[in-house]
Amino acid sequence: MTNFNKRKNSSLPIRKLDELSINRIAAGEVIERPAAAVKELIENAIDAMASSISIFFSHGGKTLIKVIDDGHGIRKEEMKLALASHATSKLMENDLSNVETLGFRGEALSSIAAVSKLSIKSIHRESYEAAEINSFAGKSNEIKPAALSLGTSVEIRELFYSTPARLKFLKSDRAETQALFDAVKRLALSSPGIRIFLQDITKEPKKILLDLPKEKLEGQYFDRVEKILGRNFSENCVELLYENNGYTISGFASLPTNSHGTSINQYCFVNNRPVKDKLLLGAIRAAYFDFMPKDRFPAIVIYIKCDSNLVDINVHPMKSEVRFKVPKDVRSLVINSVKASLSRRGLKSNTVLSAKTLNSFLPRILSDSNNILINSQVSDGEQIDKQRDLTDDHSWFSGKVEENLELELNNSNDLPLGVAKAQLHTNFIVSQTSNGVILVDQHAAHERITYEQLKLQFQMKRVESQDLLIPEIIELVGNQKEIILDFAELLLKIGFVVEAFGEKAVCIRSVPALLGSSDLRNLITDLIEELLVVGQLDSLERRLDAIISRISCHGSVRSGRKMNAQEMNELLRKMESTPFSAQCNHGRPTFIELKLNDIEKLFGRS
């Protein structure tokens, strides 16, 4: 009989686990990888009022982690107690409802000590003697004198050496280094008033991953965010500042046109505690729902402040999850703050796109002289023919600009998008501003305008519907008829009157007035595709937004349509007065701005 069967058939007595076993089990929850150990040690340093924290590691933190801080330190007589499970100095009168520190469970050091070779040196600010304690797989040695002038130094060697099963499940050095780096970045973003230094000492030359100075009080959060997320983010973000029902939100959110392929650059903090909360991530997604493609993600840094009785932080041993007392208030806070901030800066141009555009104008030097096209090889006749092709009215169209519009530009500072000068390829409007040039995608711009108009009409319950002189009968295939009729009531709210007609057809009697003379057959086909996705959305508002977005695409100025000067300038003025007009409903930019100074540099002007 196997050992398993022997145990199955025997009745073992209930017994209490010894402390070492308890700590090793707890370590599996609290310290799941080297990054978690680093996180716990940095949190301890922050709680100790440190102004400088240095982290050194090797092999992704598997073989060595060392954290040095200049905090208030640990008293010599408390060193041994610090390694005991559930021993902490951070809970006042055992009150879990009023926790002001990052740590409070008293599990980190005991969990680390249980699975590693741990050494702690510390000197308390009120003491003149430093002390040291060493622990091997949870077994502590006696406290002894140490050489240390300030703060605490914690050194972890051979993490998980006493639990080989956990050690086998660690990822590669590169992956563990990335996780460790991300954990330090999150804590650095939450504490801009602390110097953070991070170095990989695996091999020579040692690699400095972060060296962040203590930020000045004024603008310290923005300065720290810029150093960690880079200037591409800081130059293309909006500031968040909003308050509602006891919750205050601040931070920075990227422009919708500056998106990423993953959500790795989304950082959330609750009372300066880094959290990975599904509610907050879902709210961020909802806030950008009609600004960004479904497979793209914004970069965002959110700081939420609230009374401790409005949030429960004692949810998970790693303290990375929280529960809010009123989740819907927090969700609406995030969504409203992001949308309000984007609306206020609706015409902020994306400098990344501008830089890429300017880059495309830079001369490309070919190293192979045989590839250089010499103009003299082209005959004069061929050159004349090419010029004639370009000036042909059918292939080159420019909207005429009236003279009085020049005066409008010179006499007004209230035209952020300037005055139209030309239309290129019957799709792009060239506009001149007081300090540069703007290129506008006419279809994308008008799509956003139409979308916002339809949304506003629906919210005010004033959707203008237009009866068709001759109802449109549209033949459908498969279950398309059932799909569109299931949403007939929803479509009626935005101006469509759809009825069944025969076995496989529907009759369209009315459409939203903003659609004009759109191709209804193509619109209905696209709408059915959208309805298949819409059925999976979680709220009526998001369903309507998705439908309106698809309708707006059909109701906007199409690419290839010639526009005169008045039409182009009217479109620019509508963009200036329409919220979120810097991007279309799918997240594509509606315009790109080129500054005059940058254009002059292309020509070697100083």
> Where residue 26 falls among pLDDT bands split at 50, 70, 90?
low
Give the rounded percent of residues in the chain with a pLDDT score beyond 70.
81
Fold classification of 19-212 is Heat Shock Protein 90 (3.30.565)
Least confident among 264-278, 298-312, 419-433, 482-496 = 482-496
CA atoms within 13 A on the CB side of 256: 33
Spatial contact of 60 and 175, defined as CB atoms under 8 Å apart: yes
Residue 250: phi, psi to the nearest 5? -140, 170
Domain ranges in the chain? Answer: 19-212, 220-344, 440-606
pLDDT of the residue at 492: 83
pLDDT of the residue at 496: 82
pLDDT in tens, 237-276: 999 999 988 899 999 999 988 888 899 999 999 999 999 8
Give the rounded percent of residues in the chain with a pLDDT score beyond 90.
38
Cα separation, 326 vs 185, whole angstroms: 29
Cα separation, 460 vs 21, whole angstroms: 64
CA distances from 515 to 27, 206, 404, 455 (A): 62, 63, 32, 13
pLDDT of the residue at 71: 94
Spatial contact of 130 and 148, defined as CB atoms under 8 Å apart: yes
pLDDT of the residue at 437: 92
pLDDT, greater one: 92 or 459: 459
pLDDT of the residue at 87: 74
For the cut 70, the answer to whether the pLDDT of residue 317 exceeds it is no
pLDDT of the residue at 521: 73
Least confident among 92-106, 392-406, 453-467, 513-527 = 392-406
Read out DSSP for 497-542? EEEEETTTEEEEEEEEGGG-S--HHHHHHHHHHHHHHHTT-SSHHH
> Where residue 373 falls among pLDDT bands split at 50, 70, 90?
very low
* Closest-CA residue to 200 (of 62, 1, 313): 62
pTM of the model: 0.77
pLDDT of the residue at 204: 92
DSSP assignment, residue 217?
S
Least confident among 33-42, 159-168, 441-450 = 159-168
Spatial contact of 303 and 221, defined as CB atoms under 8 Å apart: yes
pLDDT of the residue at 464: 77
pLDDT in tens, 164-207: 878 888 999 999 999 999 999 999 999 999 999 999 999 999 99
Q: Which residue has the tokens 């279950």?
A: 479
Least confident among 194-203, 324-333, 493-502 = 493-502
For the cut 80, the answer to whether the pLDDT of residue 318 exceeds it is no
Contacts of 346 (CB under 8 A, 6+ apart): 578, 579, 580, 581, 582
Q: Is CATH 3.90.1150.10 correct for 220-344?
A: no
* Closest-CA residue to 104 (of 96, 115, 112): 96
DSSP assignment, residue 87?
-
For the cut 90, the answer to whether the pLDDT of residue 537 exceeds it is no
pLDDT in tens, 411-448: 555 688 999 999 998 899 999 988 899 999 999 899 88
Helix 327-344 to helix 278-287 angle (10° resolution) is: 30
Give the containing element (helix H, strand E) for 167.
helix 164-168
Cα separation, 561 vs 442, whole angstroms: 9
> Where residue 158 falls among pLDDT bands split at 50, 70, 90?
very high
CA atoms within 13 A on the CB side of 352: 16
Fold classification of 440-606 is Ribosomal Protein S8; Chain: A, domain 1 (3.30.1370)
pLDDT of the residue at 255: 92
For the cut 90, the answer to whether the pLDDT of residue 16 exceeds it is no
Q: List residues bridging with 592 in a β-sheet.
A: 439
For the cut 50, the answer to whether the pLDDT of residue 369 exceeds it is no
State the average pLDDT over residues 302-308.
92
Fold equal for 220-344 and 440-606: no
For the cut 70, the answer to whether the pLDDT of residue 22 exceeds it is no
DSSP assignment, residue 392?
-
Strand, helix or coil for residue 182 = helix
pLDDT, greater one: 474 or 574: 574
pLDDT of the residue at 516: 61
* Mean pLDDT over the full length of the chain: 82
pLDDT of the residue at 11: 65
pLDDT of the residue at 522: 76
> Where residue 542 falls among pLDDT bands split at 50, 70, 90?
low
Contacts of 472 (CB under 8 A, 6+ apart): 507, 508, 520, 521
State the average pLDDT over residues 451-470.
80
